[in-house]
Every structure is written in structure tokens, then in C-alpha cells.
């Protein structure tokens, strides 16, 4: 009797079948980006850019606490190398929106490798 492609319980039985099942699952997942939205889940310890308004360049910042996908607490290094902190900072999650003073955004490499 020839062995069927799947066992009686419906699970794949070899590596090729497993790969096929994984590809099918990925094909049904929603895309990670929609019309400029970045949709990166912020987590404690991730590096971001903070616009403090005192420099023409954003400051390096690290997420210290996550309230939700768009509201975080941060520690950052200002243009003089001094550490600062801010609470309830807006995290811009759309690459088509320009950050205002006091907002954070993802670094370019983080959104292009998404």
C-alpha cells in the first residue's frame, strides 16, 4: 500500500510537506504595511529617533516603557551628549507623516528592512 502524502491525522509527514504548509500560511497572512503605515510593534529596549526641537538632527533614543503602539516613554541623548527622559511621547507609525517636535520615529533601516 502506497503511503499517502499526509498521515491520517492530517499533519505533514516530511520536510517538503512542512515547507508547503508554511508557505500556504504566509500567503494568507495580512501584509505588514498598508499605505505608509509601518506597524512595528514597539518594545522596551528598541532604538528610535526623537525630535527634541533643539537641533537640526533627531536624537538617539531608547524605548523605556510602552503604553500602546503609538505612545511610549523614552530615554534619549541630547545634542550635548546629556541623557534626558520623556514620558507619553507620540511614536509616528506612518512614514508619510512628518514628525513634530516631541515625536519619535523609527530609524530608516528599521522600516526599509521590514
Q: Evaluate if residue 110 carries a pLDDT over 90.
A: no
pLDDT of residue 94: 86
Torsion of CA 67, 71, 73, 77, to 10 degrees: 160
Is the pLDDT score of 18 beyond 80? no
17-21, 42-46, 91-95, range with greatest mean pLDDT: 42-46
> What gap in Å lies between CA 70 and CA 104, rounded to an integer?
9
pTM as predicted: 0.66
| Residue that wins the pLDDT comparison between 88 and 94 | 88
More confident residue, 99 or 114: 99
Confidence of residue 62 (pLDDT cuts 50, 70, 90): very high
Domain boundaries, the chain: 47-112
Q: How many helices (H) and strands (E) does the chain have?
A: 2, 5
pLDDT at residue 26, as a whole number: 55
Give the per-residue pLDDT at 80. 95
Amino acid at each position: 500500500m502506497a503511503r499517502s502524502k499526509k498521515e491520517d491525522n492530517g499533519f505533514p509527514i516530511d520536510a517538503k510537506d512542512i515547507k508547503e504548509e508554511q508557505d500556504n500560511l504566509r500567503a494568507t497572512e495580512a501584509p505588514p504595511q498598508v499605505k505608509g503605515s509601518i506597524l512595528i510593534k514597539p518594545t522596551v529596549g528598541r532604538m528610535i529617533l526623537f525630535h527634541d526641537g533643539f537641533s537640526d538632527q533627531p536624537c538617539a533614543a531608547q524605548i523605556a516603557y510602552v503604553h500602546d503602539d503609538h505612545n511610549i516613554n523614552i530615554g534619549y541623548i541630547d545634542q550635548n551628549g546629556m541623557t534626558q527622559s520623556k514620558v507619553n511621547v507620540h511614536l509616528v507609525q506612518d512614514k508619510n507623516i512628518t514628525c513634530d517636535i516631541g515625536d519619535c520615529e523609527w530609524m530608516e533601516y528599521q522600516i526599509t528592512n521590514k
